[in-house]
Amino acid sequence: MPYVPHTNDDVERALAAIDVASLDALFDDVPHSLLDPRIELPDPLDEVALLRHADALAARNHTAGPMFLGGGVRQHFIPSVTPRLAMQSEFVTAYTPYQPEVSQGVLQSTFEFQTMMSELTGLPVSNASMYDGASSVAEAALLAVRQTGRETVIVSRGVHPESREVLQTYLWPLGIDIAVVDLEDLVTPTPSVGDNVACVIAQTPNFLGALEPMPALSEAAHAAGALFVAVVDPLSLAVLASPGAYGADIAVGDGQVIGNPMQYGGPSFGFMVVTEALIRQLPGRLVGQTVDVDGRRAFVLTLQAREQHIRRSKAKSNICSNHQLAALMATINLAALGPHGLREMAEGSVRWAHRLADTLEAAGADVVRGARFFNEFVVRVDREPREVRHALALRGIRAGVGVPADYGLGHAITLATTELTRQDDVDALVSAFTALGLAGGQTVGASA
């Protein structure tokens, strides 16, 4: 048996201290059906049979066919060199590089990552990556609260719903108020920013794919002494204005689209890039360049918020191991593609999105217009988005991220394209929409 140091007396005294009658009472809030569910397990298999069973399960996954899934995770081209280099053992097994004398490779790759994110966003200081895009948004809000001493955060409904949920989770225990600004014609209207607002958070392209008026939102935040947080798609920055160009104080986002496969939604990595004025509030690690005793270029951890280095009352969030390998893949990927390759990917994504939207609209689909979009757009449908997605999946098409009800669009889905989209994919989706009665013609049912 595992060693358990607590005696029955220890347990009784602990329960008495919190005024709870029994250990079972600690779990009263959990539905009884979940506490000790009956698990139907099949008969055991020997190793050969188990491997055959696993292969049969794996064969049920279909990775080919038209792909129009978006909502923050997309399928983009990844050169073979990216996984080949990133999966070398010295990178896969590397941990936090506390000792620079034995960690120069990891430190240099992280420094290169920071440099690339700085160039993409137009802001001077990037940390060594975050856990994911959603937590990056929440960390940016915490940074703004620390910097300004204010305790209200304005966030656009255009920010990804999952990011807003994480933001709520982070800020609620601290008593920080969150004000959500509803969209008008798919974009964020200029909000009224009071002197109690720490930051304004907006995302472009937003969750519906529309391009937000970021300069106007930035100006409104700064006029009230608040910070402006830009949540951005890093691929879009190959063709759109950078956060630095419109005065953002903080740029955050998710990096999956610049070097990580879809992988059932993760893992990916987040990023945060800030102005120099905010460097002391930056969570996580910062790798810097220096010289060693012989005058050779070297890299060290210049700023790190590890537990043993911080004061409890002044502690920032501890982003320690982060998603270093996923960030490394993006670094290698960006180096392999170069600025021209990245721009070609972005331009191809935009072209196919507009071609798909025009083709669907011509076929009779209810494409929601009202704002410029990057590579994702909204289509209204006449049934639950889950039904649409399932019906399309039966035709070998992966498409249709549901739009939550709080956007006020009724039954609606988003469709995304990338540079990998082809005309055959577009034709297949339009044909499926028509067969399902979503773009003219008669509905033939979700199981057809």
Q: pLDDT digits over 312-366, tens only?
A: 556 677 676 678 899 999 999 999 999 999 999 999 999 999 999 999 999 999 9
- CA 161 from chain centre, in angstroms, equals 11
Q: Is the dihedral of CA 314, 320, 324, 326 positive or negative?
A: negative
Per-residue pLDDT at 311: 55
Query: Which of 96-100, 130-134, 294-298, 390-394 comes out lowest in average pLDDT?
Result: 96-100
d(CA 36, CA 142): 39
- CA 225 from chain centre, in angstroms, equals 28
**In the chain, pLDDT over 90 holds for what percent of residues?**
76
CATH number for the domain whose boundaries are 339-435: 3.90.1150.10
Residue range 418-445: average pLDDT? 85
Residue range 50-79: average pLDDT? 91
Per-residue pLDDT at 265: 77
Q: Show me where the domains of the chain are located.
A: 81-333, 339-435
Per-residue pLDDT at 101: 84
d(CA 268, CA 381): 31
Give 228-255 pLDDT, tens digit per residue.
Answer: 999 999 999 999 999 999 999 999 999 9
Predicted confidence band at 133 (pLDDT cuts at 50, 70, 90)? Answer: very high
d(CA 137, CA 170): 10
Predicted confidence band at 273 (pLDDT cuts at 50, 70, 90)? Answer: very high
Per-residue pLDDT at 433: 96
Please state, rounded to an integer, the average pLDDT across all residues of the chain: 91
Give 364-419 pLDDT, tens digit per residue.
Answer: 999 999 889 999 999 999 999 999 999 999 999 999 999 999 999 999 999 999 99
Q: Which of 100, 160, 172 shows the shortest CA–CA distance to 134? A: 160
Predicted confidence band at 158 (pLDDT cuts at 50, 70, 90)? Answer: very high
Q: Which of 168, 210, 172, 170 shows the shortest CA–CA distance to 188? A: 210
Is the confidence at residue 16, as pLDDT, over 90?
yes
Residue range 81-91: average pLDDT? 90
CATH number for the domain whose boundaries are 81-333: 3.40.640.10
Is 448:435 a contact under the CB 8 Å cutoff?
Answer: yes
Per-residue pLDDT at 180: 98
d(CA 437, CA 392): 12
- CA 398 from chain centre, in angstroms, equals 20
Per-residue pLDDT at 2: 62
Residue range 257-274: average pLDDT? 91
Helix (H) or strand (E) holding 379: strand 376-380
Q: Who's near 335: CB < 8 A, 6+ residues apart?
A: 112, 116
Per DSSP, helices labelled H in 18-88 are 32-35, 47-58, 81-86
pTM for this structure?
Answer: 0.87
403 torsion bin: left (phi>0), alpha (psi -120 to 50), beta (else): beta
Amino acid identity for residue 405 in this structure: A
Per-residue pLDDT at 447: 36
Predicted confidence band at 448 (pLDDT cuts at 50, 70, 90)? Answer: very low
Is 72:133 a contact under the CB 8 Å cutoff?
Answer: yes
Helix (H) or strand (E) holding 270: strand 270-274
Per-residue pLDDT at 387: 96
